[in-house]
Chain A
Amino acid sequence: MSRREGWRRRLPLLPALIYIVIVTQIPFVVTLWYSFQNYFFDVPGAAHFTGLSNYKAVFTSTAFRGSLVRSVVMTVTAVIVAMILGVAIAVLLDRKFFGRGVVRTMVITPFLVMPAAAALVWAGPMLDPNFGLLNWLLEPFGVHHVAWLSTHALGSVIVVMIWQWTPFMTLIVLAGLQGQPQDTLEAAKVDGAGAMATFRELTLPHLRPYIELGILLGSIYLVNVFDAVRLMTNGGPGTSTTNLPFYLYQQVNFAFDVGGAAAAGVVTVILTIIVATFALRMFARVFQFEEAGV
């Protein structure tokens, strides 16, 4: 490839590349800088260098460690449960039955509801101890006016995450099911294979890249969940639902601690890079199945 041709190819890429580098990488560099500074919004005077003290505070802070653990618990639980439900529902929707289109539309709707709206509707009309619909539905089973958001706060937030993301998993797995070659399924049936065996031996291996893709994309979004935490429980009671995004939000907005939040951010980014390295490798593998022609 000649020099000239190389640039002719590179030119269309440059605007987007420069834009993304400026908007996403500069804040990270500034974060790195502030993580070594003592800087509070509410204290007059400029930022000044404090060495590693912000990092020391982060690593000794039980609040940071707690929120990190909760982030992992929330993301992993929500992604796994949503995926299991997603596979089950996709299998249901892959059959022919009366009103299939309507049911599919109903199932995907939770994903389309604005997350802030979903959080507020669950917190109020659905889960309220005094007038919530869930308590009314569960009354025949001996449940009486449970204050879900104070007694089962973490579980409630996770349920809403699952409710919103199961449709996403369903759609991706359903696309996989519909792309399954019919003749192998027919052949298995002719050979007398049972439904369960066919599913385990043929369908599940075929679905694997789709399941991986769903888990990967679901994790990217769910690890950043903020709306449900902020609007359902405000991180509480106590810190029982404070995940990393909410913790950092509090550091900036209520503790005014830019330096501390920056150090916590840098640690978060380093942890993310470690996870993302594996995720990117997974990405490369998952996308292989459609890259064959390139």
Chain B
Amino acid sequence: MTALPVRTREPGPQRIREMATNVGWGLLAWVVGIAFFLPVLWMVITAFKPESAAETWPPRFTFSPTLAEFRLVFSGMGPFLTHSVIATTASTILVLLLGVPAAYALSVHPVKHWRDGLFFFISTKMLPIVAVIGPLYVIALKAHLLDSIWLLIILYTAMNLPLAIWMIRSFMLEVPRELLEAARLDGAGRIREMTGVILPVISPGLVSTALICMIFAWNELFLALNLTTVNAATMPMYLISSVPQEGLYIAHLAAAATIASIPVILVGWLAQRSLVRGLSMGAIK
């Protein structure tokens, strides 16, 4: 009986110490989180400032918020937004149309040299597009594709297709073999196997593939800046145009940056899991 109180008292301080360590690590995590988030928060705060409050010393945290800069952005970004939406959506659709059959041929009924095929696709991601920008410009010029939205669609499709094939393939490998066997016993051909069994099973995977492709196309600047000027200029280029040579522009810039980033930020927040899988090209489940 004498040992009992001792035993219950002993874990007390240890538990408290353990809890204190846990709280300490938790606090550190919060500090790190806030530090990483701070520039984004500052961008959004600055976007609500009147221009006169955006370039002050010390920086101002209290001001009467205004939507004036957002209104300016909305009235100015029209064509840029349209081009971005068209280039992003069209290239993503094209990626899925080409990528799904290709992934099928590299997984479900694989071609003989499927491994080589897989590595050929990914090797094209490693070749720097910047190296060919001059000739690409000349080709686009001669093909009358310069400053055309078609050019961006074609290039963004090629940019995202290897990634998508790897990703979709990883989803197809997860389709249970028994389902495919059962469909075959029912006399389903390749087409029915695809539409009736595979596509329904991998449709969530196709959604995350599409999201990743859209993010990369939406954010792309190098090709757009080199190959377009007016008729196909995209949102990143609108951002650049929001920085004038003279005058106060910081609040306007922050509003434009916020609007341009918001779609991807929201999608990324909502789809954190598929983001990981997509960015690792299907290697991480």
Contact A265 B132 (CB under 8 A): yes
User: Which B246-271 residues have a C-beta within 8 angstroms of A?
Assistant: 250, 253-254, 256-258, 260-261, 264-265, 267-269
| B-side contacts of A192, CB under 8 Å | none
User: Which A253-280 residues have a C-beta within 8 angstroms of B?
Assistant: 253, 257-258, 261-262, 264-266, 268-269, 272-273, 275-276, 279-280
| A-side contacts of B253, CB under 8 Å | 120-121, 124-125
Cα A14 to Cα B181 with chains together (Å): 25
Cα A192 to Cα B139 with chains together (Å): 66
A224-B128 contact given A97-B26, A245-B222, CB 8 Å threshold: yes
Cα A293 to Cα B138 with chains together (Å): 46
How many interface residues does A have (CB within 8 Å)?
A: 111
Contact B125 A116 (CB under 8 A): no
Minimum CB–CB distance for B57 against chain A, Å: 5
Minimum CB–CB distance for A15 against chain B, Å: 5
Contact B25 A92 (CB under 8 A): yes
| A-side contacts of B260, CB under 8 Å | 114, 116-117
Interface of A is mostly: helix
Contact A109 B42 (CB under 8 A): no
Contact B279 A168 (CB under 8 A): yes
Contact A280 B119 (CB under 8 A): yes
Contact A261 B111 (CB under 8 A): no
Contact B59 A93 (CB under 8 A): no
**CB contact between A252 and one of B23, B40, B128, B134 (< 8 Å): that residue:** B134
Partner-B contacts on A (CB < 8 A) = 1, 6, 8-13, 15-17, 19-20, 23-28, 30-31, 33-34, 39, 89, 92-93, 95-100, 102-118, 120-122, 124-126, 128, 130-133, 136, 163, 166-168, 171-172, 174-176, 210, 213, 217, 220, 223-224, 226-227, 230-231, 244-245, 248-249, 251-253, 257-258, 261-262, 264-266, 268-269, 272-273, 275-276, 279-280, 283-284, 286-287, 289-290, 293-294
Partner-A contacts on B (CB < 8 A) = 22-23, 25-26, 28-30, 32-34, 36-40, 42-43, 46, 54-59, 98-99, 101-102, 104-106, 109-112, 117, 119-139, 154-155, 157-158, 161-162, 165, 170, 173, 190, 215, 218-219, 221-222, 225-226, 235-236, 239-240, 243, 250, 253-254, 256-258, 260-261, 264-265, 267-269, 272, 275-276, 279-285
Pairs A–B under 8 Å by Cβ, sample size 7: A27-B136, A34-B134, A95-B25, A95-B29, A227-B236, A249-B222, A290-B283
- 7 A-B pairs with least C-beta separation: A97-B26, A12-B101, A265-B131, A16-B102, A117-B257, A103-B33, A13-B105
